[in-house]
Structure 1
Amino acid sequence: MGRKVTVATCALNQWALDFEGNFQRILKSVQIAKGKGARYRLGPELEICGYGCWDHYHESDTLLHSLQVLAALLDSPVTQDIICDVGMPIMHRNVRYNCRVIFLNRKILLIRPKMALANEGNYRELRWFTPWTRSRQTEEYVLPRMLQDLTKQKTVPFGDVVLATQDTCVGSEICEELWTPRSPHIDMGLDGVEIITNASGSHHVLRKAHTRVDLVTMATSKNGGIYLLANQKGCDGDRLYYDGCAMIAMNGSIFAQGTQFSLDDVEVLTATLDLEDVRSYKAEISSRNLEATRVSPYRRVTVDFALSVSEDLLEPVSEPMEWTYHRPEEEISLGPACWLWDFLRRSKQAGFFLPLSGGVDSAASACIVYSMCCLVCDAVKSGNQQVLTDVQNLVDESSYTPQDPRGPGWPSQRLWALSVR
């Protein structure tokens, strides 16, 4: 048995309450991950129901339909022979939690509830969820009958727990937990967890990619280990834009970078990494090892499955890379443009009406709309069938293919209208 593992993380454009569409995008991401040889697939926060459900989280139907999607994922042949880590709301003992559900081959391995909720600025998670506050403690979650019949399990571990495979140990963080002063990855890494996953619903703010990269690389630099970050992308029906930026890091370096402004609904990153690099890196940090002898242990849920496979079946080990950042001007142009496109196709409107007064505000708005048109044309040229289908639905013309955002291939009566006043 080798020591090299291939892991996958995703950026998905999940729509609030679009259970069928979200299910299909999750399945597609798993299929891509397996096709690249991954044995562990991580998805974004609350990917089954969509992050921006707001007060629909209070409705029992949201919980029910999320469970139905989970059942369909468990039963699908696509999700077999790969550990799948998906996000959804779960009611446990009449308390609603934001959870990760980790499963393999029609068996739920564990449910890990979020422990630190985002509740400032644009976030109101405490309105809908309760944080799990019992560090390193677990309970037994009684599965609904629809899942019992499928998995042949009555209960599964629920709480602050980590997953031990045959060859390594995996721990979960959820979005805000990476940003807190005492992130769970610190004690998990000290307790021998070698792979940390983080499922996020993190919106775009100017230069936020810098902060994410700094947090992830610093986490793995001080403590060693592999870190996977997944994120939501798209507007999700709100005024915010979730900008993807999935990444994979190890021992303070980036090994895979996802796009920040993309019209692709499904993006999957993989990296093949050597666990021996993690172990030798950790063992060389004397101060870290002293702390490790004092840390309280986590309960480990064991699974008879290995993330590493025969060396002959693996891709070459991934190489570290430098993160490529957008300039501020590019972020200002691309972020709002992506939001405009997502809002337009989801609302199914005929286009935008853009009055031009000649001032700086209207000129900037026109530039952002033009940036949107450029993104759409580029996506179509690169073969993005979903974008082409969305364009044809918007203009109600199945044979239409946009060619140039400026010229006759993009007439004013179609995706955007100009009115000079």
Structure 2
Amino acid sequence: MGHLITVATCSLNQWALDFEGNLERILASIRIAKERGATLRVGPELEITGYGCLDHFLEGDTCLHSWEVLATILKAEEAQGIVCDIGMPVMHKNVIYNCRIIIYNGKILLIRPKMWMANNGNYRELRYFTPWMKHRETEDHYLPRIIQAVTGQAKVPFGDAVVSTVDTCIGVELCEELFTPASPHILMGLDGVEIFTNSSGSHHELRKLHTRVDLIKEATQKLGGIYLYANQQGCDGDRLYYDGCAMIAVNGHIVAQGSQFSLQDVEVITATVDLEDVRSHRATSSRSMQAAGANRYQRIEVEFSLSDESTASVVGIEDLVISTRRPEVRYHKPEEEIALGPACWLWDYLRRSRTQGYFLPLSGGIDSCATAVIVHSMCRLVAESAKKGDQAVISDARRIAGEAEGSEYVPIDPREFANRIFHTCYMGTENSSVETRNRATDLAVAIGSYHTDLNMDSLVTAVRNLFAFVTGHKPQFRAHGGSPAENLALQNIQARLRMVIAYLFAQLLPWVRGRQGGLLVLGSANVDESLRGYLTKYDCSSADVNPIGGISKTDLKKFIAYAQTTFDLPILESFLTAVPTAELEPITETYVQADEADMGMTYDELSVFGRIRKVEKCGPYSMFTKLVHEWGSFLSPAQVADKVKHFFFEYARNRHKMTTLTPSYHAEQYSPDDNRYDMRPFLYPSRFPWQFKKIDAAVATLPDRSTVHPAEAKEKMA
């Protein structure tokens, strides 16, 4: 049968600075790995501290507590008789590194620092860590006394080396190093490393998993080898959801895959593989020639064999050929990702904030509808986990639902659980329609939320009269002859009062229901509206967290269509067919307020503008040159220019709103989230005179190639 080994990787729901909880989850994962016969276990990046500590990595306390946790692991019975790859920050010669600590039987074998840092988008690793630049070199690292007392070691190797067991060789790769053009696994593999561990802190983004899987498969497809990918899972305390999906690949094929979205705190993936499969895969002339001339790595030797003749008795004969199995990789559709990712994020946020539930202003429009359905999805996940007997989920649900200690309550009905922890409210005015009010009520009934319905006209009138009393001028809506300034101000009064009411109800509704504590307010502005600035600063888009703030309107519509059938919610059909409207202006015989008309662009166009601006890194002129080719068959150069200039003008003059944007679930690459993901100014020369003149000059020289009827243009842009 060759050299059979059982290896384990895991997804852990670690929480930044939760050293006690993180330790418990690490030890649980090692214990499960050993129970399944594994002799090698790898965990997520920076698992001792949690990946998202951010500037806390600069504090000496963070390194100190990491060593204290590691000392506990080294002494633990769980960590004996198994090689463990564990992540934490380490200060070496007064420089902070993001490291993996390889341990075995109470000893540290190697400290391997990260060499290539993630430093774009959501990541700022160079702010806290320094990359290890001495490739294939090691130095002595002198251990703190609390570790010396446990291991009996004064110093250990620190740097770029590999671990050599009796029967194979293990190399370490950290997260971003897999994504770099010259990944370390290539050189390590040519020097005889057969097993690669990758500890990651990789966040969820719609449609991103394909990239990760392709890179993991490619890592060993040409090279040969066993690749163990571990990842953080859950909300680490910020805007990101780390989506797990731990994997094991052999010779370019995924042989084991964990869940991408789960309420489990610890998920361990194991596989029994044959080292001889790697060796036979590598037996090619060209690979051998390159390997013969490869630079050598220092080998840290350990008197331990990962393979064991007793493996068969531990794992069972049916698992011995798992490395030859090629199960289909599981991918979620984007609609499913929206249903699951933000729902898991909301659950983590709710249970860790120790509040009593969520409050959502439910307008009857598709955005607040999508937010409500995501909470419904969360309740469904809680109910499913409870039915399976997940005691951690049941315990959290009892506390959040206000159950007394010793209660036997089990949240197996998502609608009943929602009625305890999810509160919705329709805040109507004279500008609201019967249709939106009925949709909000019907949706609340369908998902089981505790729903209230109110009219706030008296509040709006009071504020309006106060202004008139103080100034002697009474503002009017545009429909009643008012100026644009008056019209906008009157809309904003309604929007901002809704925020005030939302927080009042969120603080007091639990009290009304005989419970203690407060609720977290949910926002429901989508990524396109934020990008365009189509929201009122400090209105009901201002909330505690926003599960849809990184999701496009186009994707939200697809999600609602998916949820209509998957969650058996026929009421959602009426949300899909309704025209998006803020309902802040009076409805007349000739005018009904509509979002796309107000914005001067469609949601589909906004998605295109957002991607070109952020992902493709284009300013006004280069965006125009791209779109004049892409849209040239149905729009003239002048029309394209007008759309691009209008977008950039509105984006620039509303950019200041992003400074107060509610923290949102990150799901989209073109998110405008200020100072976290999108590092841009908030005061612009909003008419871009130089750039717009260059566009106008180009328009004057370009031919009109549009041949498509204007009625077909919108469909093509989508």
The interval holding the TM-score normalised by the smaller chain is over 0.9
Where 1:122 maps in the other structure, the secondary structure is coil
Q: For residue 349 of structure 1, what is the aligned residue in structure 2? A: 355
Q: For residue 88 of structure 1, what is the aligned residue in structure 2? A: 88
Query: Aligned equivalents of 2:195 and 2:155: distance in 1?
Result: 26
- What TM-score, normalized to structure 2? 0.57
Query: Aligned equivalents of 2:244 and 2:95: distance in 1?
Result: 30
Query: Aligned equivalents of 1:27 and 1:198: distance in 2?
Result: 19
Do 2:11 and 2:43's aligned partners in 1 also have CA atoms closer than 8 Å?
A: yes
1:368 equivalent in alignment to 2:374: yes
Given residue 327 of structure 1, which amino acid in structure 2 is its aligned partner? K
Q: Return the offset for 1:15.
A: 0.8
Q: For residue 388 of structure 2, what is the aligned residue in structure 1? A: 382
Given residue 324 of structure 1, which amino acid in structure 2 is its aligned partner? R
Q: For residue 288 of structure 1, what is the aligned residue in structure 2? A: 287
Give the alignment partner of residue 408 of structure 2, picking from 381, 399, 403.
399
89-98 or 386-395, which deviates more = 386-395
Do 2:2 and 2:276's aligned partners in 1 also have CA atoms closer than 8 Å?
A: no
Given residue 389 of structure 1, which amino acid in structure 2 is its aligned partner? S
Where 1:10 maps in the other structure, the secondary structure is strand
Pairing 1:10-409 to 2, within 5 Å after superposition? 10-284=10-284, 286-311=285-310, 312-315=312-315, 316-318=320-322, 319-397=325-403, 398-406=407-415, 409=416
Where 1:97 maps in the other structure, the secondary structure is strand
Higher-Rg member (1/2)? 2
Query: Aligned equivalents of 1:287 and 1:207: distance in 2?
Result: 35
Query: Aligned equivalents of 1:17 and 1:411: distance in 2?
Result: 30
Given residue 146 of structure 1, which amino acid in structure 2 is its aligned partner? I
Query: Aligned equivalents of 1:120 and 1:292: distance in 2?
Result: 34
Q: Which protein, 1 or 2, shows the higher relative CO under an 8 Å CA cutoff with sep ≥ 6? A: 1
Query: Aligned equivalents of 2:418 and 2:327: distance in 1?
Result: 42
Query: Aligned equivalents of 1:339 and 1:100: distance in 2?
Result: 27
Query: Aligned equivalents of 2:408 and 2:36: distance in 1?
Result: 34
Given residue 298 of structure 1, which amino acid in structure 2 is its aligned partner? Y
1:8 equivalent in alignment to 2:14: no
Do 1:9 and 1:270's aligned partners in 2 also have CA atoms closer than 8 Å?
A: yes
Where 1:283 maps in the other structure, the secondary structure is coil
Do 2:379 and 2:418's aligned partners in 1 also have CA atoms closer than 8 Å?
A: no
Where 1:223 maps in the other structure, the secondary structure is coil
Q: Looking at secondary structure, tell me which structure has more helix per residue.
A: 2
Q: Return the offset for 1:400.
A: 2.3
Question: Unaligned 5+ residue runs, structure 2?
Answer: 428-718
Question: How many residues matched?
Answer: 417
Q: Return the offset for 1:322.
A: 1.3
Where 2:140 maps in the other structure, the secondary structure is strand
Given residue 131 of structure 1, which amino acid in structure 2 is its aligned partner? P
Residue deviations 1:9-42, cap 9 Å, x none? 0100011111111111100000000000000000
Query: Aligned equivalents of 1:235 and 1:188: distance in 2?
Result: 33
Residue deviations 1:55-86, cap 9 Å, x none? 11111111111000000000011110001110
Query: Aligned equivalents of 1:332 and 1:371: distance in 2?
Result: 10
Where 2:306 maps in the other structure, the secondary structure is coil
Where 1:410 maps in the other structure, the secondary structure is helix
Do 1:74 and 1:106's aligned partners in 2 also have CA atoms closer than 8 Å?
A: yes
Query: Aligned equivalents of 1:347 and 1:262: distance in 2?
Result: 19
Question: Unaligned 5+ residue runs, structure 1?
Answer: none
Q: For residue 418 of structure 1, what is the aligned residue in structure 2? A: 424
Query: Aligned equivalents of 1:176 and 1:17: distance in 2?
Result: 22
Q: Return the offset for 1:295.
A: 1.4
Query: Aligned equivalents of 1:138 and 1:204: distance in 2?
Result: 34
Query: Aligned equivalents of 2:401 and 2:365: distance in 1?
Result: 30
| Percent of pairs with identical residues | 62
Q: Return the offset for 1:410.
A: 2.1
Query: Aligned equivalents of 1:402 and 1:276: distance in 2?
Result: 49
- What TM-score, normalized to structure 1? 0.97
Query: Aligned equivalents of 1:82 and 1:396: distance in 2?
Result: 42
Q: Return the offset for 1:287.
A: 2.4
Do 2:401 and 2:417's aligned partners in 1 also have CA atoms closer than 8 Å?
A: no
Do 1:2 and 1:308's aligned partners in 2 also have CA atoms closer than 8 Å?
A: no
Query: Aligned equivalents of 1:215 and 1:289: distance in 2?
Result: 23
Do 1:37 and 1:314's aligned partners in 2 also have CA atoms closer than 8 Å?
A: yes
With over 3 angstroms needed to count, the CA separation of the structure-2 counterparts of 1:411 and 1:368, relative to structure 1, is: closer
Q: Return the offset for 1:2.
A: 5.5
Given residue 351 of structure 2, which amino acid in structure 1 is its aligned partner? R
Where 1:91 maps in the other structure, the secondary structure is strand
Residue deviations 1:78-117, cap 9 Å, x none? 1100011100000000000000001111110000000011
Query: Aligned equivalents of 1:74 and 1:411: distance in 2?
Result: 43
Where 1:366 maps in the other structure, the secondary structure is helix
Where 1:217 maps in the other structure, the secondary structure is helix
Do 2:382 and 2:393's aligned partners in 1 also have CA atoms closer than 8 Å?
A: yes
Given residue 99 of structure 2, which amino acid in structure 1 is its aligned partner? C
Q: Return the offset for 1:313.
A: 3.3
Do 2:379 and 2:414's aligned partners in 1 also have CA atoms closer than 8 Å?
A: yes
Q: Return the offset for 1:411.
A: 5.2
Do 2:17 and 2:49's aligned partners in 1 also have CA atoms closer than 8 Å?
A: yes
Do 1:84 and 1:102's aligned partners in 2 also have CA atoms closer than 8 Å?
A: yes
Q: Return the offset for 1:320.
A: 2.4
Q: Looking at secondary structure, tell me which structure has more strand per residue.
A: 1
